[in-house]
Amino acid sequence: MITSVYISNEKIQVLTGEMSKNHLDVKSCMYVDLPEKSIVNGVITNEIGVKDAISKLWEKYNLPKKGVSLVIDSGTILNKKIKVPVLPKANIQSLVQDEFKDVEGYSNFLFDYIVLEDGHNGDPLVFGNAVSKELVASYIRVFKSLDIALKGINTSIAAEISLVAANPVINTKNQIIVVLDNTSLTSVLYIDGKYSFASRSRLLEERATEASRMEIVRALSSLIQFARSENSQKPVEAVYICGMVEGESDLCPKLQAMLGCPVGTLPACDNITCTKDKDKAAVLMSDFTYPLGNMI
């Protein structure tokens, strides 16, 4: 059984499920709201509030205390698409670290990567991450104090990349996936289903308002223009919106009208289900994007 946890700026999300023969079936999903400003840009600012919320979830749902996989998200996490030669894993890890050697405070970071292209269909590519040691340590400390053992920590965009790769409906498309998380907007551009570029911006307007819609449109328009300038032969085919809140049920059609591009939520696929139902899983793709991708 997989237990995947994502801690955002406003809530804690947990999914449990099983992965078998490239098929993921989610068994349960749950969340709890965090006290205001307990997490700011991924940094724990109210450790007691976060611990209390985790404790309530684990007690209410009798969740496993071993083998838990965590996803974190922060604007302080650095990422980079890196071309690598065909090498053993240990050597690739060293190359990824070298790519971040000019970062200030290099020795205070931890490094990891996931494979984007293994070399069979083009140059080998990896998605490298550099995460502050203190950021990682702060999450480990919180879970350890509750006797919950983490088996791994993933980053939000890496989890999303895994979700896209696993969904055959979208894993060859030119598309933008947008995750709205309270006052932040993370947009990732995929070309032929492969990670190309990510941008992050702060949302200043109140969500579910016309001003907020225009703010989102401006951010997406800039990324669509960037995609055209980078590869005019491969225009953006679709924009997928995740993390919508109450009052945003009309967000997708309104964005579509303004952007002139199909806008919707992530589509269902046969190999990702929730209690054997792919349509239920499609809802999770949009509302639990990061913890779902972390299960794959």
What ranges do the domains of the chain cover? Answer: 2-73+138-160, 78-131, 171-265
Q: What kind and span of H or E run contains 264? A: strand 263-264
User: pLDDT per residue over 69-87, tens digit each?
Assistant: 999 999 999 999 999 998 8
User: What pLDDT, on the 0 to 100 scale, is given for residue 119?
Assistant: 79
Q: Is the dihedral of CA 39, 40, 43, 44 positive or negative?
A: negative
In the predicted structure, residue 232 carries a pLDDT above the cut 80: no
Q: Where does the pLDDT of residue 208 fall: very low under 50, low under 70, confident under 90, or very high at 90 and above?
A: very high
* Domain topology for 78-131: Dna Ligase; domain 1 (3.30.1490)
Architecture of domain 2-73+138-160: 2-Layer Sandwich (3.30)
> CATH second-level architecture of 171-265?
2-Layer Sandwich (3.30)
Q: How far apart are CA 73 and CA 202, in angstroms?
A: 14
pLDDT at position 17 is: 98
Name the band, by pLDDT with cuts 50, 70 and 90, for residue 88: confident
Query: Per residue in 163-174, pLDDT tens?
Result: 999 999 999 999
**How confident is the model over 236-247, as a mean pLDDT?**
96
Which helix (DSSP H) or strand (DSSP E) does residue 99 occupy?
helix 89-99
- Same topology for domains 2-73+138-160 and 171-265, yes or no? yes
30 Cβ partners below 8 Å, 6+ apart? 13, 14, 57, 60, 61
Is pLDDT at 183 greater than 90 in this prediction?
A: no
Q: Which residue has the tokens 């979700």?
A: 163
Is the separation of the CB atoms in 2 and 18 below 8 Å?
Answer: yes
Question: Which residues, including other chains, have CB under 8 Å from residue 191's CB and lie 6 or more apart?
Answer: 174, 227, 231, 234
Q: What is the pLDDT of residues 19-73, one digit of tens each?
A: 998 999 999 999 999 999 999 999 999 999 999 999 999 999 999 999 999 999 9
pLDDT at 142 over 80: yes
Answer whether 0.85 is exceeded by the pTM. yes
